[in-house]
Amino acid sequence: MRVLHGARISLSIGIVSSLINLCIGVTYGAISGFVGGRVDDVMMRIVDILYAVPILLVVILLMVLLGAGLTNIFIALGIAYWLTMARIVRGQILAVKEQDYILAARVIGVKRSKLILRHLIPNAIGPIVVYATLSIPTAIFLEAFLSFIGLGVSAPIASWGTLASDGIQSMKSYPWQLFFPAAAISICLLSFNFVGDGLRDALDPRLRK
């Protein structure tokens, strides 16, 4: 029962963090790819600098600064893992924005925001959905790790990470208290990875053959 209760917290953290990651990464990558030029160079150099810092270290530092808690985990994971999404979206935008229908829309005076929202992002939705799906298990695993070391959610809130942390203290006497949350984490991560691989195969026409 505690494992099922912890699933609500762990899954909500994975999904909400992925949505925050999606909003930040798509917005940043779309602006960078569409505007291009020096703006694109500056924005991508910022991403490169942030990539030089270990993301896990950034998340841990944010949790130390913000303190343990469910909302703070949403914030820390959401603002730390948008870099890859931004790069993916930028690459897709660069590939699409030179298409004839985009050039025609720009000639007739369609606003930039409308071009991005109605034409560019919808045509890049495949890779975006795939990566967003694959980012959910990453967030779940990181939440479990943070809760395991005492930087995640705290009592009375229970997640798979806190259950595993409690279970390891009594592993010799009651090993199932560690086994069940660990098994739930493993099954959930595998399931989302399989879904992400399936979406990639379905949305990539080169892999349908």
- Kindly write down the DSSP assignment for every residue of 30-73, as one continuous string: HHHHHH-HHHHHHHHHHHHHHHTS-HHHHHHHHHHHH-SSHHHH
Tens of pLDDT, residue by residue over 69-114, are: 777 888 888 777 888 888 888 888 888 877 777 778 777 877 877 7
Band of residue 1 on the pLDDT scale cut at 50, 70, 90: low
Residue 150 CA to residue 158 CA, distance in Å, equals 12
Q: What is the CATH number of the domain that holds 56?
A: 1.10.3720.10
- Using alpha carbons only, give the angle 178, 75, 158 rounded to the nearest 5 degrees: 25
pLDDT value of residue 139: 83
Please give the average per-residue pLDDT across 43-64, as a whole number: 83
Note the pLDDT of residue 203.
65
Work out the widest C-alpha separation in the chain, in whole angstroms. Answer: 73
Residue 165 reports pLDDT greater than 80: no
Q: Give the position of tokens 């995640």.
A: 152
For the chain, how many structural domains are there in total? 1
Torsion of CA 80, 83, 89, 90, to 10 degrees: 140
Pair of tokens at residue 67: 């303190």
Pairwise CA distance, residues 71 & 56, whole Å = 18
Q: Is the pLDDT of residue 208 over 70?
A: no
The boundaries of the domain holding residue 107 are 2-207
Share of the chain above pLDDT 90, in %: 0
The model's pTM is: 0.78
Residue 42 exposed, middle or buried by CB count within 10 Å (0-12, 13-18, 19+): exposed
Reading the block at residue 100, the tokens are: 């004839």
pLDDT of residue 155: 64
